[in-house]
Structure 1
Amino acid sequence: MLIATLIAAGRLDDRLLSAALDRVADSSFHAWVDEGSAADLAIVDVHSARIALEGWQGCDIVIQSLEHREKALLVADMDSTIIGQECIDELADYAGFKPQVAAITEKAMSGELDFAVALAERVALLRGLPVDDLGECLAQRIRPNPGASTFVRTMRAHGAHTLLVSGGFTDFVAPIAAELGFNSFRANILEREGEKLTGTTQGPIVDSIAKKEALVEAQAHLGLARNAVLAIGDGANDLPMIEAAGLGVAYRAKPVLAERADARLDNHGLDALLWAQGIPRRDWLLA
């Protein structure tokens, strides 16, 4: 059975639910996930349901098979997905050239610039930055997006493996992964000489292909089918892993990703994806 989980936290009343059903041909009410916030609708056609309900009335909608909705592997991008910032942009602000770095980041995330090239250009601008600025930037400016901790910890409590993958840097990714409860992470390493950054990275680059490879490797290691995998990201460099997952979600994403993801999360926190997996709020590990 195909279900569309309709999410309107705290305001999904009978009127809104009835209006949603009227918009989708051959749909019917299946069950509440959380009464007043999330409900499953039985549908026939994915395309028509997405056109009718995606972005409608501030709702979010996730369409998938009822039989495989709870996922056993989460692979998540970090910057502008799990956290609300782009770490390299914030770090560049310490060095006084955030506008230049942010402009490169925007082009890379929109798919207008090769990620490896963009990364090298941005990291080069960090040359000479004191290593201590990394920790200060993390503490002062980097914050998880709403629902991130509840989302990750609840999935892990339900037996899922959680993997944080990032084109950013281990100095930020490692502590964020630990804070939010991820099992593991993969990210780039900033090279340093003494107490300053050299303006280069060390080792293989974690780009779009590396993100997809991390997903495929984790899936194989855990012996999971594709439909057991949930991936979420926001930019063009997340597209390969989003398309490799059984359920690929675009979180407040650039158009290049939003157009090709299985679902979009534009109006709610990350914990809304627990409703999409059929997990009611009473079973959430609230942060």
Structure 2
Amino acid sequence: MQSIAQKIGLIHVTALAQKITPGAIAELATDIASTGGNIERIHRTASFPLTAIEFLISGANSDSLRTSLGPTAKKFGIDIAVQNSGLNRFARKLVVMDVDSTLIEQEVIDLLAEACGVGEQVRSITESAMRGELDFETSLRKRVSLLKGQPSTIIDDVAAKISLTPGARTLIRTLNKLGHGVGLVSGGFSQVINPIAQQLGIVNVRSNTLDIMDNVLTGNLTGPIIDRAGKAQALKDFAAVEKISLANTIAIGDGANDLDMIATAGLGIAFNAKPKVQEAAQSALNAPYLDSVLFILGINREDIEESERTD
């Protein structure tokens, strides 16, 4: 009989939720068996801030597992991540994430618009873009144009209102401590994002830049626009800088602008994302804790706490 270590084609299935009942585990196990899969090992990797249960599966196909586990996961409110096993799972990774509504809880353009008294107009343009009537660059330029004439100090006022998503600091600190690469890529603005990146110790950063002249917003942008394609290119560029293969990259995002980046990465994670993004990504997280990404990467709660103790 082969030991687990001798078996090839193993698959990790990670189940995450606030609470996972024995009944839910039993139904997930039945779903796994229905695909022809055998559970070689099952263990809890975390109980805070979420419960995380990892199944090690042999004899199954990743796509079949995702399809089979979907209804049970939805029934019990469980997020499911399916990954192939092997040495790559524990190789050095590059994690690149969106900023607005991913790394931070807010949308910066909305905060700026409200502060400038043009919130309703900006929302109207955003809704038009979501209906497919405007592309990202056009909609971004239209929204930024409404900020024309405002003092640049308004950026600092907005920055003071920004809060990191729960678990963001833990995620980044743990990845840095374990030697992984981290990057931020955003359709938002460098004047807001760069200080956050510096505070978190992130050097791989790419975003748009508001044009400022004589301490006043001109209503224009400077430099190339970071759109859907720009985000994917940034991931490739960061991977080259970090000398990490694309197979060992992880992209985390929530909107349509993240789809190319998610498709380019070795692993795409939809974080509290729009349905279209959840369908495109290999994994979806719907709990509000960004550090739950660590459990998908095979890093357990004990590893996280140990890295924090050695600070």
- Normalised TM-score (structure 2): 0.85
Q: CA RMSD for the aligned pairs? A: 2.1
2:3 corresponds in structure 1 to none
Mapped contact 1:127–1:197 kept (Cα < 8 A)? yes
Match of 1:266 among 253, 275, 286: 286
- CA 1:279–1:33 in 2, change beyond 3 Å: closer, same or farther? farther
Shift of 1:19: 2.5
Cα gap change, 1:16 to 1:29, in 2 (>3 Å) = farther
C-alpha distance in 2, partners of 1:106/1:33? 42
**Which of 214, 239, 243 lines up with 1:194 in the alignment?**
214
Counterpart of 1:137 in structure 2: which amino acid? V
Give the corresponding residue for 1:233: 253
CA distance in 2, matches of 1:12, 1:29: 20
The answer to which structure, 1 or 2, has the higher relative contact order (CA under 8 A, 6+ apart) is 1
Q: Distance in 2 between matches of 1:226 and 1:107?
A: 34
- Whichever residue aligns with residue 66 of structure 2, its letter is R
Task: Give the Cα–Cα distance (whole angstroms) in 2 for the partners of residues 12 and 281 of structure 1.
Answer: 16
Between structure 1 and structure 2, the one with the greater Rg is 2
Consecutive unaligned residues in structure 1, runs of 5 or more: none
Q: CA contact under 8 A between 1:110 and 1:236: conserved in structure 2? A: no
Q: 5 Å matches for 1:101-250?
A: 101-108=122-129, 113-139=134-160, 141-250=161-270
Between the two proteins, what is the percent identity of the paired residues?
38
The one-character-per-residue Cα deviations of 1:168-226 (angstroms, maximum 9, x if unpaired) are 00111112212333232111111111121000001111111111111111222333222
Deviates more, 1:246-255 or 1:49-58: 49-58
The residue number in structure 2 matching 1:93 is 114
* One-letter amino acid of the structure 1 residue matched with residue 61 of structure 2: D
In the TM superposition, structure 1's runs of 4+ consecutive aligned residues that sit over 6 Å from their partners are none
User: Are 1:29 and 1:41, in contact at CA under 8 Å, matched by a contact in 2?
Assistant: yes
Alignment pair present for 1:12 and 2:12: no
Match of 2:52 among 10, 18, 38: 38
Instruction: Point out the more displaced range, 151-160 or 172-181.
Output: 172-181
Contact 1:85 1:143 in 2 (8 A): yes
1:108–1:236 contact (8 Å) kept in structure 2: no
The amino acid of 2:42's aligned partner reads: A
State the shift of 1:12 in Å: 3.1
Q: Which moved more, 1:26-35 or 1:181-190?
A: 26-35
Give the 5 Å matches for 1:73-84: 73-84=94-105
Deviates more, 1:204-213 or 1:108-117: 108-117
CA deviation after TM superposition for structure 1 residue 152, in Å: 1.3
**Structure 1 residues 108 and 249, CA gap change in structure 2 (3 angstroms):** farther
Structure 2 gap ranges (5+): 1-9
Which amino acid counterpart does residue 41 of structure 2 have in structure 1? H
Tell which deviates more after alignment, 264-273 or 198-207.
Answer: 264-273
